[in-house]
Structure formats: C-alpha cells, structure tokens
Amino acid sequence: MAMSFASERGSGILLSRVRLSSVELSQFDKKPNAPPVWPAVLTSFLHCVSLGAALMTWLRVCEHVVSPYVEEKDVKDAVKVAAQTYYGRLLAVNAICELVTSQFVGVASDKHGRRPVQVAAQLGQVIDYLLAALCLPSFGYIGQLKEGAWFILFFSRGIAGLLGNYKVSLQSYTADISTVEECPTRMAYLGGALVTGMCAGSMLATAVGVSKISFRWSFLAATAINVGIIALVVVKWRDIAPRKDYTWREANPFASFHLLGTNRAMAMYSALVFLSSFSLNMFSSTLVSYCETFLNMDTPTFSALVMMWTLESAICLGIVQPALVREVGEIATLQLSFLCMIVFYVLFCLLTPENSAWVFVIMILFSMGSITYPLAVSLATRELPPELQGSLQGAVSVLETVAKIIAPLLASDVIIPAYSEPGQFYGMVYFVAGLLLVPSLWPCHELYKLTARMNPDRTVMLEEIGG
C-alpha cells in the first residue's frame, strides 16, 4: 500500500487511460466567466437544513399514522418498530418515483438548463413537507389529517420523487462552472455543506422537541427554507453549459446507463457510487429508530451525536479530503475512506445500551467515510465532456435511487424485524452494511492500473499509476 500511495503522488489531472488517449485539451481550459460556486454550496446547505429537520421528525409522523393500526400496543416498542417499517416503505416509494424521472431530469437539464430543474425539485419538497405537517397534531389553526393519512404520505413522497432528485442538477451545475482540477474540491464543498446543513436541521428539530410544541413547526420551517432555495436558484444561478436536445427515448430511466460503462475506470467509479450510497441509506434510514429503540438513547444525547457527526463530516469533506488528495492522491483517499466506513460499521454493530457512549469516539470513522460519494462522483465527471454532464448525473441518480429503494426495505422490512427480539443481535443491520462494503476495496485497487495523470499546460502525461 505504501508503494501505491507514493506512486500516486504528483501534479496533473487524474484520468482513465482511455480518456487520456482521446481527450481534447480545450476541455481543461480555465473558465474565467463562470459564475461563483457559493450559490450552489448554499443551495446544498439550505436543502439539507430542511432535510435534516424533516428527517428527525419523520418517525414522529409515522408513529401518529400507524398507531391506530398496531394491535399489540402493550408490547414494548411495537409502535416504533411498525413506524420504522412504514417509514422504510415511504422511502422506497419516494425512491421508485425518483427512479422513474431520474434520467428525464438529467436530459431536461441538458436541454433547458440546471435552474428550472432545480426549482422543480425544490417544489416537490414543498409539497411533501406541507402534507407531512398536516398529519401531525395541530397547534390551533388547521386540524390534523387522520383519515387517509396512510395513503396521503405515499402520495406526497411520490410527488417529491417524481419532481426529481435535487443532486442531479446541483452536481451538474457544479461540474459546469468548475474546471476538472477544481471539481473534486468543489464537490467536497457540496458534501461539507450537506452535512453541516443536516446538523443545523437536526438542531432545529431538537429545539422544536424540547419546546414541547407540535412537530409541525419542523416541517413548516423546512417548507419555508425550500421556498427560499427556489428564490436563490432563480436569482443567483447562471447556466453556462452547452445545451443538448434529447428524444423521449433518451428520457427513459436507463437510457444513459451505458455512460456508467464508458470505460473500465468509469465502471469502477459507478460501483463505488452505488456501494457508498447503499450503505449510507441503510444507516440514515434506521439510525433514529435504532438509537432510540435498541441503544436506549435519549433525544439530547442523540442530537449531540448527530451534531458531532455532521461537524466532523464537514471538516473531513472541506479540509481533510483536499489535503489527502494532495498528499496521497484521489484513489488512495477513496481506499482509506471506504476502509474507515467498514471499520465503523463493524464497531457500531457491537454497541449495546451499556457501552453506547463509545459511538462518540467511533463516529469519526463514519465521517471519514462520507468522503467516498462526492469524490467518486467528481472523478466520474472527468470522464465525459460538458454536454453529457446532465445525462451522467441522471445515470448516477439512477444508481443512487436503486440503492435508496433496496437499502431501506432490506433494513426496515427484513433485517431489523428479524433481529428485534430480546437476546438477538440487534446490530445485524449494520454488520450487513459493513459486509456489503468490503467489495469496494477491489475497484479502488483496480483504479491504480486504469488511470494516469496529465498536465494540460504541458500537454504531456506526467506520471502513470500502478505497476
């Protein structure tokens, strides 16, 4: 491994060997007229403030909705387990609807620009959060929806999914306004804004809970934030990417899936994106319920954990990742990040209510693992020209969405119910998540042989990786 680290150091841009043989150097030109990146970073931050506030509150909504249908209410945690199962199904419906339109969102952004597509995605969140708020107890103005709430939430989650994954246009826009050298760092900034926003959102939801007022306030605040994002995108985003028309055939969910296999290096990046997304969705969709139900963690402690996790992740993405890339290279950074994630899951699954305080020590490993997704996506963007970035992000969204469909269902419908009885291994869900990440180390190893470096200023290959 030391040899691999040393051999990857060096100046120049990391590309697949296939891409190097056909690259046009004009694609590496600076973009002096490109708009600043801060509106995209702010969009990521604000979106995740609203997402964090909603994420901390969704289980409360689900508990209110499923409670009338749970016959064994006297059984400890029966309502919570049923709510987690229902929540997993809501996530799956949202992901399935997102899958249907993922490619359309990508090609539509190539033709019409990133701004209108981002506005549509935020509008979907507004509808979703407003309807979720109405399923919670009222604070005196509009009554609580009870009859039909079970189906209303499936509808609202579906609408949010159909209107698109905000990451498609956000990541495409960031790639548009960045050089290939800037892209990994800027994608890391998006990731840092994401986790910082999640921290702020969880603090907002915690404040609502501590105040003993209706959790509606969390969703109404999230709705207001998404409306603000729409205004930000309309005013501050400026599309500069070349436009590309499409046919309806190209809008089907898997039309651009072939881009993920453009070359072997791209196939490896795609595998890494899928694996990181799968494990993250298993973790995020079950963490609240698991900590409350099986680790007996109270709300203030859990909020402190989330805050520490998100702040550590922001530091890892905004500071540690760029430093690691400079010192050891992109591929070694990916390897280290996946290894940290695997070790985290193994340790986390062994926690019990008696030793759960150790989670504050091991959470840094998960924060290091948060580097995997944005770095893999940014390296994939280098493999295709600007006019195909929207289609690429649509295909990446399909990968991510398939993970969002399968992971919550596997965790909430299969593993957690099967290991929820006293005396059973509650941590099995996270042991499986870690086990599924082990294959990620092979694509990382293969990338050493499949990539090389180029300095566009001297138009020569400076250094080859591997050997």
Give domain status of residue 405, yes or no.
yes
CA distances for 75 relative to 68, 144, 350, angstroms: 14, 26, 25
CA distances for 113 relative to 78, 106, 129, 318, angstroms: 48, 10, 26, 27
- pLDDT value at residue 285: 78
Give domain status of residue 154, yes or no.
yes
Dist. CA 406–CA 211, nearest whole Å = 36
Give domain status of residue 241, yes or no.
yes
Give domain status of residue 55, yes or no.
yes
Sheet containing 13-16: order of strands? 13-16, 451-455, 460-464
Task: Find the helix or strand (DSSP H, E) in which 95 lies.
Answer: helix 78-112
What's the average pLDDT block by block, 10 residues per block, for the chain (467 residues)?
40 70 55 84 93 80 76 64 80 83 81 89 90 72 65 85 83 84 81 83 80 78 93 92 75 78 90 91 82 83 83 86 88 94 93 89 92 88 79 82 83 80 80 91 90 62 44
- pLDDT value at residue 46: 94
CA distances for 135 relative to 152, 200, 210, 225, 435, angstroms: 9, 24, 20, 20, 37
423: left (phi over 0), alpha (psi -120 to 50) or beta: left
What range does the domain containing 370 cover? 2-455
Dist. CA 238–CA 97, nearest whole Å = 28
Give domain status of residue 321, yes or no.
yes
Give domain status of residue 351, yes or no.
yes
- pLDDT value at residue 23: 55
Residues near 332 by beta carbon (within 8 Å), at least 6 away in sequence: 1, 4, 5, 8, 324
Q: What is the DSSP letter of 12?
A: S
pLDDT digits (tens, 9 = 90+) for 434-444: 999 999 999 99
Give domain status of residue 467, yes or no.
no
Token pair listed for 324: 């690691």
- pLDDT value at residue 139: 60
In DSSP notation, 304-331 reads: HHHHHHHHHHHHIIIIIHHHHHHHH-HH
pLDDT digits (tens, 9 = 90+) for 12-24: 677 777 766 665 5
How many structural domains does the chain have?
1
Give domain status of residue 461, yes or no.
no
Phi, psi values for residue 109, rounded to 5°: -70, -30
CATH number at residue 41: 1.20.1250.20
In terms of Cα–Cα distance, which of 395, 343, 345, 448 is closest to 167? 395
Specify the pTM. Answer: 0.73
Please calculate the CA angle 207-212-215 and round it to the nearest 5 degrees.
70
What sign results for the dihedral spanned by CA atoms 295, 86, 62, 436? positive
Dist. CA 160–CA 166, nearest whole Å = 10
